[in-house]
């Protein structure tokens, strides 16, 4: 087991900055997801941890030791590739034994270890089968087993579920999570799928354009996004962000969205709002937290998606777009109508329209 510390880590390719000033501490035994859209620098970060890429700036420490100059074979890192990179011209047994053989482990010891891992991963019945043509969940187990047999302190997984169809992903997710429980290693998991990150990770590091935007537990990130990008990226659908202005009343502060109406801020938010000199803000709220109401914000309903347990209402007003997620038992508005909804004051988040950063007032 191992603690990973990334210190001011950066990587440039010519003029292009793939990653800048990344500071992140991944605790011993933690399952950390690096989450972001493609091109955000998450794979670059992981490849530097693995040693496939050399950082342009900064340091990577495993348990306090800088490993930038340690070759990748010596870092004690297990890597699970996007397509698993199973040696399909070998049998399952040869795949498992590949690492120990390469490291010169004695034959008797290899046999013992392969047997132990095959039992752990429930692969013992297929040890002598060719690895080509195995189903994808077995390939995943084999890929993890092939690395785990060397007892690496750190496991890196590069979008391992992206080639799996949606129905099977849930199975793979739970299997992966339970494997991590068994091995107890530090795991770094790269993904662009927020659902994978939310369901499996202890903590999530959200990245965009080579920058780390927020690190936190899935619920922290969901409830209190530190950034408008994070707010939009997390959740399905993501958080609604509307342009608005703050108005100060006798003892409350409200945020007004041009042409839509206004929402009142919670006392906790008012302090943060007071700091916003410009009065221009971005108002964020989760689609799930919208309720139909007599007064609040009014928008035109463009279309309604019924997806069983929930109904997604798409709305538009001028340049503003928003979505609402309603439980299936709530009668949804009709497309084409104007619809008025309210947002509870503790569900409102404010963001700086220039920097995109959240404006104070963390409410738990």
Partner 1 sequence: MTNASTMEPVAERPAASASTGAGLGLWLTLPAQLLVLFIALFPILMQVYISLTDWSPLDGIPWWRAHELWIGLLNYTDLMADSRFWGALWRTMFVMAVCVPVQFLLGLGLAVLFVDDFHGKRVLYSTLLVPMMVVPAVAGYMFFMLFQSGGPVNDLLSLFTSDPVRIAWLSDPDLALIAVMVADIWQWTPLMFLILLAGMISVPQDQQMAAILLGASWWRRFFTIVLPRMKSIIIIALAIRVIEIFKIFDTLFIMTGGGPGVATETISVYIYKVTQQELIWSYVAAIALAILIVLSVVSVFAIKRMQRGQGT
The residues binding partner 1 (CB under 8 A) are: 50, 52, 72-74, 77-79, 81-83, 85, 87, 89-90, 98-99, 102-103, 130, 132, 146-147, 150
- H/E element holding 109? helix 107-120
The least distance separating partner 1 from the CB of residue 85, rounded to whole angstroms, comes to 4
- The beta-strand segments (E) located in the chain are 4-13, 16-26, 31-35, 57-62, 65-66, 77-80, 154-158, 186-191, 203-208, 211-216, 240-248, 253-257, 261-264, 280-285, 291-306, 310-317, 320-327, 338-342, 349-351
Considering only CA atoms, give the Rg of the chain. 24
Can you tell me the distance from the alpha carbon of 100 to that of 353, in angstroms, rounded to the nearest whole number? 54
Closest among 351, 347, 221, 364 to 285, alpha carbons compared: 347
Closer to partner 1 by Cβ: residue 140 or 262: 140
The least distance separating partner 1 from the CB of residue 202, rounded to whole angstroms, comes to 24
The least distance separating partner 1 from the CB of residue 337, rounded to whole angstroms, comes to 48
Closer to partner 1 by Cβ: residue 2 or 254: 2
Q: Which tokens belong to 17?
A: 């900055």
The least distance separating partner 1 from the CB of residue 78, rounded to whole angstroms, comes to 7
Q: How far is CA 65 from CA 2, 32, 51, 70, 173, in A?
A: 10, 20, 14, 10, 32
The least distance separating partner 1 from the CB of residue 247, rounded to whole angstroms, comes to 56
Closer to partner 1 by Cβ: residue 101 or 362: 101
Can you tell me the distance from the alpha carbon of 100 to that of 148, in angstroms, rounded to the nearest whole number? 11
Place of tokens 């347990």: 309
Closer to partner 1 by Cβ: residue 50 or 312: 50
Q: How far apart are the first and last CA of the chain?
A: 32
In this structure, what are the phi and psi dihedrals at residue 204, rounded to the nearest 5 degrees?
Answer: -120, 135
Closer to partner 1 by Cβ: residue 98 or 296: 98
Closer to partner 1 by Cβ: residue 32 or 86: 86
Q: How far is CA 123 from CA 115, 126, 155, 183, in A?
A: 9, 6, 20, 16
The least distance separating partner 1 from the CB of residue 101, rounded to whole angstroms, comes to 8
Closer to partner 1 by Cβ: residue 148 or 213: 148
Closer to partner 1 by Cβ: residue 90 or 268: 90
The least distance separating partner 1 from the CB of residue 71, rounded to whole angstroms, comes to 9
The least distance separating partner 1 from the CB of residue 152, rounded to whole angstroms, comes to 9
Closest among 116, 163, 166 to 140, alpha carbons compared: 163
The least distance separating partner 1 from the CB of residue 73, rounded to whole angstroms, comes to 5
Can you tell me the distance from the alpha carbon of 239 to that of 162, in angstroms, rounded to the nearest whole number? 24
Place of tokens 């292009």: 16
Closer to partner 1 by Cβ: residue 23 or 103: 103
Can you tell me the distance from the alpha carbon of 335 to that of 315, in angstroms, rounded to the nearest whole number? 9
Closer to partner 1 by Cβ: residue 111 or 252: 111
The least distance separating partner 1 from the CB of residue 99, rounded to whole angstroms, comes to 4
């Amino acid at each position: 087991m191992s603690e990973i510390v990334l210190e001011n880590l950066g990587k440039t390719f010519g003029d292009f900055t793939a990653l800048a000033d990344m500071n992140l501490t991944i605790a011993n035994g933690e399952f950390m997801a690096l989450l972001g859209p493609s091109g955000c620098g998450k794979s670059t970060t992981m490849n530097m941890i693995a040693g496939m890429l050399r950082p342009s700036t900064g340091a990577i420490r495993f348990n306090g030791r800088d490993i930038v100059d340690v070759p990748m074979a010596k870092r004690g890192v297990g890597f699970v590739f996007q397509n698993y990179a199973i040696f399909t011209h070998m049998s399952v047994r040869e795949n498992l034994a590949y690492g120990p053989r390469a490291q010169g482990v004695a034959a008797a010891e290899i046999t013992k270890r392969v047997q132990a891992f095959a039992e752990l991963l429930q692969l013992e019945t297929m040890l002598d089968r060719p690895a080509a043509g195995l189903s994808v969940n077995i390939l995943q187990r084999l890929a993890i087993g092939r690395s785990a047999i060397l007892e690496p302190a750190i496991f890196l997984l590069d979008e391992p579920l992206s080639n799996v169809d949606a129905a099977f992903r849930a199975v793979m997710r739970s299997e992966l999570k339970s494997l991590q429980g068994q091995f107890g290693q530090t795991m770094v998991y790269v993904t662009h799928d927020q659902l994978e990150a939310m369901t499996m990770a202890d903590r999530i590091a959200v990245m965009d354009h080579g920058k780390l935007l927020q690190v936190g537990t899935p619920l922290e990130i969901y409830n209190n996004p530190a950034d408008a990008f994070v707010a939009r990226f997390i959740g399905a659908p993501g958080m609604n962000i509307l342009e608005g202005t703050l108005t100060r009343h006798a003892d409350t502060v409200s945020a007004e969205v041009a042409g839509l109406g206004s929402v009142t801020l919670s006392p906790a938010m008012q302090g943060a709002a007071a700091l916003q000199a410009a009065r221009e803000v971005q108002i964020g709220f989760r689609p799930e937290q919208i309720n139909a109401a007599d007064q609040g914000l009014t928008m035109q309903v463009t279309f309604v998606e019924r997806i069983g347990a929930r109904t997604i209402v798409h709305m538009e007003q001028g340049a503003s777009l928003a979505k609402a997620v309603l439980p299936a038992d709530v009668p949804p508005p009709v497309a084409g109508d104007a619809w008025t909804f309210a947002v509870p004051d503790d569900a409102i988040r404010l963001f700086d329209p220039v920097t995109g950063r959240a404006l104070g007032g963390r409410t738990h």
